[in-house]
Amino acid sequence: MSRLFLGRGLETEADAYIDGGKSRAILVCGKRGSGKSYTLGVIAEELHRAADATILIVDPMGIYHTMSLSNHEQESVLWDWGDSPRGLPVKVLVPGDPVERYGGADIVAEMERRGVEFRSLALNPSDVSAESWCDSFGTSINEPMGISLAKATRRCRQEYGARGYFIREIIDEVLKDPRAHDRTIDALVNRLEMANQWGIFAADRYRELAEILDPDSVNVLDLSVIDSGRYGRRGLIVSVLSRDLFRKRSIARRREELGLAPERRKFWMLIDEAHQFVPSGRSALGKEELIRWVKEGRQPGLSLVVASQQPSAIDGEVLSQCDVIISHALTTSDDKTALNRLTKDYMRNEIKTYIDQLARTGQAVFVDDDTERLEVVQIRPRASRPGGGEA
């Protein structure tokens, strides 16, 4: 059993652990500045120590690259906990060219000096479903543009199959569509050309996405370099990645069961600001895939950690699948109510009565369905440097 050490019970003073040996779905929540990102980093450190899973942090704020540095600021607290400051191997995945994305070669060089290694991430256009293209282009599969796009990708799949195809090939197929109106073709080609400019797609070589993840490092997908609003590009990246990894793990699992291959690593995805990807009450690129992760991820060994300021802004299906809750302080009643709904029979009191007891940053209500325990804990100090301090 790989135990993830989270902190210590305030009352019991007993160590608090999560069993990380099985597939888990974890919610980390709390108001602004209450310590969610810090706690997400604690979980990543523990997963790295356990060394039996590949770790991916989805980082919309661009704050986790600091995990390559040691947390000297809290050296004495770490000593008190029997630990010491320590940086971890960090791979930062950025779509496209890092220098271009960060806006300067000196920035990239400085991050590398701090121990960060960059890997360029390029989505394979052949991994993007017709529905996802439509979502990115703000159209639907039932509208003329969507119909033409679906036909084009279908023909590309027939023609290029496992070799994969690229935006150029999709455009060629669109141009050949005998039934589409000129205006539809123009509009669609325009959008595909634009997507080509986003700098997130492979142009001529199919590469397995899973291959760029390093099983021995903390992989950080830096989405802060992609603007969040338009075309749902962040969601598109998360959606393609999660579908790909789900497929990979399912195949690996089948092999394991048939005795064809040794046990492969499990997979943990940790998403900060998760309401961007699994929002409640509206659709979003990536949402469907992530819901599938939490609902069907047990078999293929997939775990998900979602962190958000507002549990009420997270999709209800995802919330109800979470078997661990780590809640820092909450103040708004909507959020307390959303969390309180997750109160279970084994708890002596409703979750909100414990939330109201939280006194300082780093304290959290820790609920684990697996052990049927609920307690208020002090999260342990980070060995690696937490990012995202105020400017």
Helix residue spans in the chain (DSSP H): 36-50, 75-80, 98-102, 105-113, 130-136, 144-160, 167-176, 182-197, 233-257, 287-296, 316-321, 333-340, 351-355
The partner in contact with residue 148, picked from ligand ATP, Mg ion, none with C-beta cut-offs of 5 to 8 angstroms by kind, is: none
Q: How far is CA 219 from CA 94, 118, 184, 216, 295, in A?
A: 11, 10, 40, 9, 24
If binding is defined by CB under 6 A, does position 38 make contact with ligand ATP? yes
Residues in contact with ligand ATP, shown as a per-residue x/- string from 255 to 284 under the rule CB under 6 A: ------------------------------
The partner in contact with residue 38, picked from Mg ion, ligand ATP, none with C-beta cut-offs of 5 to 8 angstroms by kind, is: ligand ATP
Q: Which residue has the tokens 């706690």?
A: 39
Q: Which is nearer to Mg ion, 108 or 313 (CB)?
A: 313
Q: Which is nearer to ligand ATP, 274 or 319 (CB)?
A: 274
Q: Which is nearer to Mg ion, 36 or 266 (CB)?
A: 36
If binding is defined by CB under 6 A, does position 391 make contact with ligand ATP? no
The partner in contact with residue 144, picked from Mg ion, ligand ATP, none with C-beta cut-offs of 5 to 8 angstroms by kind, is: none
The partner in contact with residue 71, picked from Mg ion, ligand ATP, none with C-beta cut-offs of 5 to 8 angstroms by kind, is: none
Burial class (CB in 10 A: 0-12, 13-18, 19+), 14: exposed
Residues in contact with ligand ATP, shown as a per-residue x/- string from 317 to 336 under the rule CB under 6 A: --------------------
134: tokens are 């439509």
Q: Which is nearer to ligand ATP, 120 or 361 (CB)?
A: 361
Q: Which is nearer to Mg ion, 37 or 74 (CB)?
A: 37
Q: Which residues bind Mg ion (CB under 5 A)?
A: 36-37
- Measured between alpha carbons, how far is 122 from 116 in angstroms, rounded to an integer? 19
152: tokens are 């084009």
Q: Of 310, 242, 244, give the one whose Cα is nearest residue 281.
A: 310
The partner in contact with residue 362, picked from Mg ion, ligand ATP, none with C-beta cut-offs of 5 to 8 angstroms by kind, is: ligand ATP
Binding residue (CB under 6 A) for ligand ATP from 23, 34, 219, 303: 34
Judged by CB under 6 A, which stretch of 25-33, 220-228, 231-239, 252-260 contacts ligand ATP?
A: 25-33
Q: Give SS3 for 304.
A: strand
Binding residue (CB under 6 A) for ligand ATP from 174, 362, 374, 377: 362
Q: Give SS3 for 294.
A: helix
Pairing state between β 90-95 and 363-368: unpaired
If binding is defined by CB under 6 A, does position 85 make contact with ligand ATP? no
- Measured between alpha carbons, how far is 158 from 173 in angstroms, rounded to an integer? 12
Residues of this chain that interact with ligand ATP (CB under 6 A) are 30, 32-38, 309, 361-362, 379, 381, 386, 388-389
